[in-house]
Amino acid sequence: MELALFDLDNTLIAGDSDFEWAQFLIGKGILDRSIYESRNLEFYEQYRAGTLDIDAFLDFQLRPLAAHPRHLLDTWHREFMARHLLPLVNAKARRLVRQHLDSGALCAIVTATNSFVTAPIAREFGIAHLIATIPAQENGQFTGVPRGTPSFREGKIVRVDAWLEAIGLWWGSFERSWFYSDSLNDLPLLSKVSHPVAVDPDPSLRAHAETAGWSITSLLP
């Protein structure tokens, strides 16, 4: 059996779904541009630099979900997927995922972005398993806080371990394992698999991958 794990933002999609979702809400006038736009960019740059405070970011990211009823959020997300997200999905990424699925590998997206934003994207790729930061909810309404361990940095390993345990597997169940990512933030999980792959990597990850002899590839059109 083989395991194939995929980061999402700037890996399977040519952009950042977190950032794009906030920009979408700003563009619709749902979030105040004067307050949210500069903060959104600031968090994005911190993530790219490897300095993100995940708790501060999740407060920023999840609070707007709690301010609106779920049916409105679902309607907005359908528009977001159609107009903003699907154009970021290219054929190379689809082929890569399909190759692993067709080989019989157990596949999952492992992303720090919350599951409300990312679950429809995982379904678009045909990937049944999603390991994402979980936005807590009560009676279908988001509370504005995360539930459990955020799927970020070392937390990705914690969450993958728990997922494998829940389905009766562990790392030793697999002859080979892959993780595809663009980001230095994913060094812990990249270092865990047998076949780490840097995808259009940021400069820090590229340097690490070259030194470690990891595969480097591009999924850009």
**Helices first, then strands: H and E counts in the chain:** 9, 7
- Is the model's pLDDT at 221 over the cut of 90? no
Pairing of strands 141-147, 129-138: antiparallel
Kindly name the residue from 9, 18, 182, 186 that is annotated as catalytic: 9
- Is 7 one of the catalytic residues? yes
108 - beta bridge partners? Answer: 5, 129
Of the listed 7, 16, 182, 202, which one is catalytic? 7
pLDDT at 1: 94
Q: What is the pLDDT of residue 143?
A: 96
Residue 200 is given by DSSP the state S
* Rounded distance between C-alpha atoms, residue 80 and residue 83, angstroms: 5
Which pLDDT score is estimated for 50?
Answer: 84
Q: Is 198 within 8 Å of 209 (Cβ atoms)?
A: yes
Higher pLDDT, 41 or 206: 206
Q: Which CATH architecture has domain 2-217?
A: 3-Layer(aba) Sandwich (3.40)
**Backbone CA torsion sign across 39, 45, 48, 52:** negative
What are the pLDDT digits (tens) for 30-68? 999 988 889 888 988 998 888 989 899 988 889 999 999
pTM equals 0.95
- 16 is an active site residue: no
Q: In DSSP terms, which residues pair with 197 in a beta bridge?
A: 180, 215
